[in-house]
Amino acid sequence: MSVEVSRRKFLQGSVALSVAGASAISATNLFSSEHASNKHQPTDSRIPSTITTKTGTGEAVEVATLCEMCVNKCAALARVENGVITKLNPNPMFPKSKNMLCPRGNAGIQAAYDPDRLKYPMIRTGEKGKGQFKRVTWDEAYDAILNGTDKFPGLAKILEEEKDNRSSMLFCAGEGMAEHTFKQFYQAFGSSNWLNHASLCLQTVVSGYGVTLGGYPQSDLDNAEYIIMAGANRAEAIVTPDTMDCFKRTKGRGAKLVCVDPRFTNTAAKADKWLAIKPGTDLAFVLALTYVVFTEELYNKKYVANYFNGLEDYKNSVITNKYTPEWAEKITGIKAKDIYTIAREFMMHAPKAIYYPGRRSTFATNDFQLRRAQAIFQALGGGIDTKGGLIFGKKLKLGKHEGLEPLYARAEARAVSKKDHPKKGESGYDDCAIVSGGGSWIAWRNRYLEDRMPYKVRGMFCYKHNPMMNMPNTKKTAQMLKKMDLVVTIDTMPSDTVMYADVVLPECTYLERTDPVKTFGGVEPSIAVRNKVIDPLFETKPVRDILRGLTEKISKPLFEITKKYDEDVQDELEDSDEAEVYAEFDLTLPFEGTQEEVNHHMVASVYGEEAAHKLHKDGVFYPDMDKFYKKIGANEHQYYPEKEKAYSVRGGKPKTPSGKVECNIANLASKGVDPMPVWKDEYNFKVEEGKFRLLTGRHAQFTQSGTSNNSMLHDLIMTNFIWINQRVADKKGIKFGDMIEVSSKTGSTRLKAYPTEKIGPDTLFFIHGFGEESSELTWAYKNGGNDNAVIEDVVEPVYGAAAMHETNVEIRKV
């Protein structure tokens, strides 16, 4: 074959996403002249003067770390020369990421040396949300959190006025290895209000698989012969090892990949078959696959006999509801004959066949039922806990370390509002059927705005989390932040959320801190650690040190308030010495000692001293690593010999309490949730004339708003574009690069057009994470469109997750 080579000038990366002829950043020196103000002048010799630093041939130190450019935690080896990180290389020893770093992982250096980073503690001086702060010392910042300023009240005043109701402070966090550290602060503080990314992320998929199979499984894409990847985009939303394992085996190399997506993604391009589908109708597709399997008796009879509960009920439901491929064709747009073929092919290859669970946000309100239907379909082929199917894998143990969870008598329970008189078969809560550990972010926010709280919530601590960008309806989030008396943010960047803070505590980036050691389960289990590569820059600190300093400041004064209001503590003090009682309420306890010491103990206590040292040095450890790990080619390593791999750890038995796949869950019915996956008319894809369904998603070069200001990634993808069907664009006179305003009931945003046939005529798409409003972000400020300014806050009914693909929008050329 031959390949036409076009000229470099026309080859600016992926045509789909980047701009041809985009203006380049020509400056070689980021920290001077044209780029911005004096804030970018380097004063520290440890900060490089140029964006990229050519690696040298002299002395260098190599430090094993884990990436934090997304949630994957791939292993990296950082090269440090004269105190400057000059390169991040993949660490070949980690079975999860198998010697690779993606573009974001490679660009991690720019997260550390981002000139816009938060550099020192700040407190608000101007109007809330205007981003007017003054630089203060750490002690002054801690003092402002405790005692407030003339602009905002501190914790002492709030807890005094709320009579020691610790739940009057909300704690929220984004995903990360140090989320655990922050959560220890939440637990010690004694609040019941915890919100994390789960309801904006993978709550429904984890729970759907959880209640059906007893766990959220991994996929053995390395050995599967047939893969259905629906609503997941592994070529662009990179997940290790899935992305690596999947695409090396498609197109005649051992596995057939069927991609189902309302967009023609890179995954579609790399798949053996792509099926366009109407958004939000995947459940009908799975039900029809299941129908074929039931009516043609294609399922694994032995597996089903051993490990299914409620099979007959489900079979009856699917058959009597006539979920035929012909029925599904009308709903999904996928041809009936394709559905027959896929169901048959899947079961022919099962158990080495995978309906890929995915790990994305909730898109449609039926997502929980979709995931249940997927899990049951998968199990019908017997591909559970087995090579080439979904696997539970093995997890290596870690030692324990001390936490602190004092009981405060006056701390109210979580601020969910229960219905006064729920009818039988109805959810007991206002917003959703089940309240999960991570809570429902948008339901909580909306309840707070509408004064539907059982008590007053006065303030919040926000760690590595950007509610202004990460959840639907940005306007409401801004109102919530304004309404809070005290907002404390711990972050690395001046994000849109940080702009609404009263106190800003600057954390160092992942390359400047050691995080809690983590065990990674799977077919090839291991333990890995994020070691500090360089000392924190500026006045930043790891969150652990921040919380140590803060708790040293607030612990005793807040205990005085507890003494005043807490009857239990008062009783205890009558019989015991105050020091003894205080020890249970000493907030500093979880942060004693260094992270390195804690990690060492957690590993050495189980695997011995040598293992702990090895882990620190190599970044990765597992028993018998010396024996098993070897290089077997330029691009391949052995981590475990085949016979040592944990493909099957329970002989195929699901992890549910019953040990069976649960098809029909009565307990769900009692909460007003369908006990079995069924289709409802309200799930049908509907768009009014002249409107479009808005889709959002990810790609390989950015991780949501967290990387939006990364200079290197910005250089690859200058901005986000809105995908609009070519024929529709032609009719509307919209050309590539035209500015488009997208609007809904929620609000509007503007970005440039990318007409293409890779998207259907009634849908639009653009990448999440762009269009930030913080003027402190050189590259991200007002760059492209913000999806959450437009997406409506539709609450998924089971777990209260944000349903991201339920918004119809209008567009106009501006």
Partner 1 sequence: MMANYAMAFDYKLCINCHACEVACKEENGIDLGAKNHRLWIDEDGETEGDFWNLARDKITFIQMQCQECQDAPCLKACPNGAIYIDDNGIVRLYKEKCDLTLACMKACPYDARYIDEKNAITDKCIFCADTRLARGETTTACQITCPAKLRYFGDLDDEESEISKILRERKHFTLKPELGTKPKLFYLE
Residue positions counted in the chain: 814
Name which position in 107, 122, 343, 416 contacts partner 1 (CB under 8 A).
107
Interaction of residue 421 with partner 1, rule CB under 8 A: no
Q: Among 463, 460, 467, which Cα is nearest to 487's?
A: 460
Residues in a beta bridge with 631? 637
What is the phi/psi pair of residue 228, to 5°? -105, 120
Name which position in 281, 588, 711, 778 contacts partner 1 (CB under 8 A).
711
Q: How far is the CB of 315 from partner 1 (least distance, A)?
A: 32
Say whether 739 sits in a helix, a strand or coil. Answer: strand
Question: Cα dihedral angle (67, 69, 71, 73), rounded to 10 degrees?
Answer: -10
Interaction of residue 59 with partner 1, rule CB under 8 A: no
Residue 720 DSSP symbol = -
Q: How far is the CB of 370 from partner 1 (least distance, A)?
A: 22
Interaction of residue 695 with partner 1, rule CB under 8 A: no
- Chain residues 734-763 in contact with partner 1, contact rule CB under 8 A: 757-761
- Chain residues 654-693 in contact with partner 1, contact rule CB under 8 A: none
Structure tokens at 36: 């911005």
- Chain residues 241-260 in contact with partner 1, contact rule CB under 8 A: 243-244, 247-248, 251
Q: How far is the CB of 579 from partner 1 (least distance, A)?
A: 53
**197 and 470 in contact (C-beta within 8 Å)?**
yes
- Chain residues 222-241 in contact with partner 1, contact rule CB under 8 A: 235-236, 238, 240
Q: How far is the CB of 51 from partner 1 (least distance, A)?
A: 6
- Chain residues 72-101 in contact with partner 1, contact rule CB under 8 A: 86-90, 98-101
Interaction of residue 112 with partner 1, rule CB under 8 A: no
Q: What is the largest CA-CA distance in the chain?
A: 88
Distance CA 198, CA 788 (A): 17
Q: How far is the CB of 9 from partner 1 (least distance, A)?
A: 7
Distance CA 473, CA 493 (A): 22
Distance CA 585, CA 569 (A): 10
Angle at the Cα of 23 from the Cα atoms of 19 and 29, rounded to 5 degrees:
130
Q: How far is the CB of 241 from partner 1 (least distance, A)?
A: 10
Residue closer to partner 1 by CB (options 78, 205) is 78
**696 and 727 in contact (C-beta within 8 Å)?**
no
Interaction of residue 798 with partner 1, rule CB under 8 A: no
Place of tokens 């630093």: 53
Interaction of residue 778 with partner 1, rule CB under 8 A: no
Name which position in 65, 106, 562, 696 contacts partner 1 (CB under 8 A).
106
Cα–Cα distances (Å) from 328 to 232, 345, 371, in that order, read 20, 18, 17
Residue closer to partner 1 by CB (options 87, 548) is 87
- Chain residues 19-58 in contact with partner 1, contact rule CB under 8 A: 21-22, 24-26, 28, 50-57
Per CB under 8 A, which region of 34-42, 179-187, 399-407, 710-718 contacts partner 1? 710-718
Write the single-letter amino acid at 259: C
Distance CA 586, CA 581 (A): 9
Q: How far is the CB of 761 from partner 1 (least distance, A)?
A: 7
Burial class (CB in 10 A: 0-12, 13-18, 19+), 157: middle
Q: How far is the CB of 755 from partner 1 (least distance, A)?
A: 12
Name which position in 159, 712, 742, 795 contacts partner 1 (CB under 8 A).
712
User: Which uninterrupted H or E stretch holds 367?
Assistant: helix 367-380
- Chain residues 259-298 in contact with partner 1, contact rule CB under 8 A: 264, 266, 268-270, 274, 276
Name which position in 43, 437, 626, 633 contacts partner 1 (CB under 8 A).
633
Q: How far is the CB of 408 from partner 1 (least distance, A)?
A: 48
**Count of residues engaged in binding partner 1, rule: CB under 8 A:** 79
Distance CA 533, CA 556 (A): 35
- Chain residues 449-468 in contact with partner 1, contact rule CB under 8 A: none
